[in-house]
Chain A
């Protein structure tokens, strides 16, 4: 789950990292009021995506009137695929230097890594290309954590003037915040040293590990859930893993890997999948709502149903599909592939009740579905 800047910065502040004073506002009037209270401000669009500055979503405002105008210009703007509805009005900082700091889950080391660069404002890969000597990456033993000595050692050889100590302190706090909040990524970019020598976080990106959400009840509601389509919302409310895609071949399979691969095979045969729909795991008895959902997408012209039974039995999954089929009476062509535990029973059921013979391989089923979607064979 991603946290936008306004929701991420309090996480830093709670860990003792300095952030500029700010207010979240929804209208130009409130932006002006905030500027009155704060002074010279930056008006920043709050959307769950990067590159806000380039899109014109960040403006300086030296007076309440300017803040009003800036807010008026930014609200309603589209950045990425998001409409701006919320602004952060934040005190301007007298920037002397821009730095970069982050802590993240590193799947290479299978532990946390702390990243630091003296080239703030750009992402760390870019900085590493420009000047690798200015970039540090330190793996941390998650059982002992990051102490001040380790943070200082990591900064060795970087010219931070007389701020090295303050930056090391900040890294220790950043690591603590990462641990406390089940972060997958906690990034400050830019981290600035101000002209009066303060170390301040000017922006913050925070992604919480989705598996950690359940034990972060105070923080979790502040995150921004992925933007869902109407069908995806419906899937979520039914406890189904449904993702809408752009194509016209509906996909329904069991298990994440098999569903993903059914999409691959549809594409391999020249088609475009209309969705990801997985009914594995606990959802393997949900054939009926799953089928209804897949069919309610008007783009779907044909359907491939691919089951490979292991724990989830093919006949149980097929029962749900057949019951739904008999009730919904859809007219579009459907192509089955059923294998594994319960496959023979499922084949008999499909033959007897729908007069459908599953294809011998998922490839043949996918290929037939692709051709049908293109208006070829029934």
Chain B
């Protein structure tokens, strides 16, 4: 789930407004964009790269490792399944509001094919100093700089603020993994944590969690086995039960998915919990000192 400069990236929905705007930003920053996929627009050139009708056509034209998907919710499933069938290794699904049962189909197909799904409803993945796929402002040096902290986030806006705080503390990021704010997602907090634990550029990890679901509890089980320090903040402690606060996945149902349960599990695993995001940089510095 970490994207590298040498990886060849295909953008699904490259000719749309969002697709165009962000592909330009990615190209400027150094992401190796090799083409785009837009049904019925195959054969055109957009932003200096060839456009294909399908991922399978694209794979025959120019090989690619990663796809970034910027297509509307009800077309996302077809686009994702096309990319998976074409054999893409990583698929970053930026789209919000994809029906959950469609996401389940995508995740099931990806598992069989060995494709790593990141998202949906994510801000993307970024490796400062190398490249990014999605909407992460990796190009703003006040927010992200090359460094040693791996950041896992369910939120874009708050993920940005945490990165900024880490950067202001004189640290930087080895990788940002935006796992997304939906109830069903392709990469869980635990899977992202395991990946950053294996990554040699990462010396410590920041987990930015949210109320809802049990992903942080599962990640805590793995964190307990890690040598690298982990710092975490859980958003949504002040949100009333049973109300959706923006993210479809951020909802407490009955006694499941509570702030208290997540904080308890992470603390027990030896993770340093912070009460406000402003402490992120300092807590990470302290944690890295040991």
Residues of A within 8 A of B (CB): 105, 107-108, 110-112, 125, 141-143, 179, 182, 184, 209-212, 214-215, 241, 243, 245, 253-261, 263-268, 273, 276, 278, 280-281, 308-312, 339-341, 343, 361-364
- Taking a contact as CB atoms closer than 8 A, the residue among B96, B108, B239, B249 that contacts A107 in the complex is B249
A-B contact pairs, 20 of them (CB 8 A): A107-B183, A110-B104, A110-B107, A112-B101, A243-B245, A255-B156, A256-B181, A260-B239, A261-B233, A261-B235, A264-B235, A265-B277, A278-B246, A308-B160, A309-B137, A311-B135, A340-B143, A340-B160, A361-B278, A362-B277
Within the complex, what minimum Cβ distance (angstroms) separates B222 from chain A? 16
Let me know if A268 and B157 touch, CB within 8 A.
no
Hey, what's the 0/1 contact readout for B234-268 against A, CB within 8 Å counting as 1? 01111110011111111000100000000000000
- Residue contact A211 to B248, C-beta cutoff 8 Å: yes
Count, A-B residue pairs, CB within 8 A = 173
* Chain B contact residues, CB within 8 Å of chain A: 73-74, 96-101, 104-105, 107-109, 123, 135-137, 140, 142-143, 153-161, 164, 181, 183-185, 208, 210, 213-214, 233, 235-240, 243-250, 254, 275-278
Q: Is there an interface contact between A260 and B250, defined as CB atoms closer than 8 Å?
A: yes
Question: What's the minimum C-beta distance from B177 to chain A, rounded to whole angstroms?
Answer: 15
Query: A361 contacts which chain B residues (CB < 8 A)?
Result: 278
The answer to whether B164 and A257 have CB atoms under 8 Å apart is no
Q: Judging by beta carbons under 8 Å apart, are A111 and B157 in contact?
A: no
Kindly list chain B residues whose C-beta atoms are within 8 Å of the C-beta of A107.
183-184, 213-214, 249
List the B side residues contacting A268 at CB < 8 Å: 275-276
A310: contacting residue among B73, B96, B123, B250, CB under 8 A? B123
Nearest CB in chain A: distance from B33 CB, A: 18
Known contacts A212-B100, A260-B210, A363-B276; is A245 also within 8 Å of B246 by CB? no
Q: Does the CB pair B157–A253 fall under 8 Å?
A: yes
A274 to chain B, nearest CB (A): 12
Q: How far is the CA of A143 from the CA of B103 in the complex (A)?
A: 12
Give the nearest-CB partner of A111 in chain B.
B104
- Minimum C-beta distance from A357 to chain B (A): 17
Distance of A245 Cα from B108 Cα, bound (Å): 39
- State A184–B97 Cα separation when bound (angstroms): 14
Q: How far is the CB of B193 from chain A (nearest CB, A)?
A: 17
Instruction: Among A210, A256, A267, A363, find the residue whose CB has the most chain B CB atoms closer than 10 A.
Output: A256
Which residues of chain B come closer than 8 Å to A257, judged between CB atoms?
153-159, 181, 208, 210, 235, 246-247
Q: B residues within 8 A CB of A241? A: 246
B135 touches A256 (CB 8 A): no
Q: What are the 7 closest A-B residue pairs judged by CB atoms, nearest first? A: A255-B157, A257-B155, A256-B246, A257-B158, A258-B157, A267-B238, A363-B278
- A184 and B136 CA atoms in complex are apart in Å by 30
- Complex contact B137–A340 (CB within 8 A): yes
- B108: chain A residues at CB < 8 Å are 110-111, 141-143
How many angstroms from the CA of A45 to the CA of B277 in the assembled complex? 46
A211 engages B157 (CB within 8 Å): no
